[in-house]
Amino acid sequence: IWVGGNHSNARSKPSFQKLVASGVPNNPPRWPEATAIVKRILKAYQDDARDWERINDWIDRIGWPRFFEATGLPFTKFHIDNWRGSRKSLNASTHIRF
């Protein structure tokens, strides 16, 4: 389950989503495990966010450590995004090059 992210420059700079839960079992038709995690995230968001705030804005305001505390989701070393090679391998701007 991925949370956050912003895809436009309208309010703030674009940002990537973050992984908050992995290895969730795929149990159709109701997906009870995934639904429970999403409900937990939305409950914490409802309790703490301001009226005008989107989830990404709320997470930016409280920070990722407090997000994991508020939702009760486990934080592991795999949640840390410390890859530094992106500037060499990805485009450094949003311009399309042909």
pLDDT of res. 95: 60
Could you tell me the pTM of the whole model?
A: 0.75
Mean pLDDT of the chain: 84
Cβ-Cβ contacts under 8 Å for 72 (sequence gap 6 or more): 40
Domain map (residue ranges) of the chain: 2-89
Q: Is the pLDDT of residue 85 over 80?
A: no
| pLDDT digit string, tens, across residues 32-52 | 999 999 999 999 999 999 999
Class (C level, CATH) for 2-89 = alpha beta
| pLDDT digit string, tens, across residues 4-42 | 888 877 777 788 888 899 889 999 999 999 999 999 999
| Residue/partner pairs of 37-44 with CB below 8 Å, 24 or more apart | 37/1, 37/73, 38/1, 40/71, 40/72, 40/73, 41/1, 41/3, 41/71, 41/73, 44/70, 44/71
Q: Is the pLDDT of residue 83 over 60?
A: yes
